[in-house]
Amino acid sequence: MFKKLFKRRENRQEHLAIATRELEQFLLSLRGMSDAEVGHLVAMAAVVRMSLRPVGALPDEAFGIGMPLSESAEIEVRRNLVQTVFAMQKKNHAMTAGAMVWVHTLRSYHFPELRLYGGHMWGELQRGFPQALSALTFIESVTNEPTPLATAQATQFNPIGLEPMPTKSWGQELVDNLNRNVLNDVPTS
């Protein structure tokens, strides 16, 4: 019994280490991209999500919308998505990076230790939100196919609980504003 428990813990630690390493690499690549490049990635992620959603492979419930998924359903969604990504990588599919957004998002939900990284990832992805609609138009022109229904709205989606983290400059701006307000309220003698 204890052997099983320790084995399960070792597997979790191993999976967490892999997920952390891959998410850190993904985040680093996002930071190196221009806003337009991130916009294309956001558009690809929206196409992937809206393509997988109708067949139940990536339900809204996986992102905290509506009734939460059971643990077994959550595991199945993650497993199927990872298998989909492996198949896409083997075929060198153009939308693989878009699918990876969802793999990292679901991992961030599964491992609380990754939530901070998940928030940073979505902070970087938000840089591309303004360019995502034009990227969708580009994708449609290249594929000669319309994107799935509601994909345009999906380009502005931010998963619940993975809202972007404030940057240091935002925090410093807040402190500066507070100091300015306090200094302005102090009577001079």
Domain that holds residue 113: 2-185
With a pLDDT cut of 90, the percent of the chain lying above it is 75
**Any idea which of 121-125, 149-153, 162-166 has the lowest mean pLDDT?**
162-166
Contact 118, 108 (CB under 8 A): yes
Structure confidence at residue 148 (pLDDT):
95
Look at residue 10 and tell me whether its pLDDT is greater than 90.
Answer: no
Rounded to the nearest 10°, the torsion over CA 32, 134, 60, 78 is -40
**Is the CB of residue 51 less than 8 Å from the CB of residue 148?**
yes
Domain total for the chain? 1
- CA end-to-end span of the chain: 75
Distance, in Å, from the CA atom of 189 to the CA atom of 181, rounded to the nearest integer, reads 18
> Quick one: pLDDT at residue 166?
57
pLDDT of the residue at 11 = 87
Selected residue with higher pLDDT from 12 and 138: 138
Residue 28 has pLDDT above 60, yes or no: yes
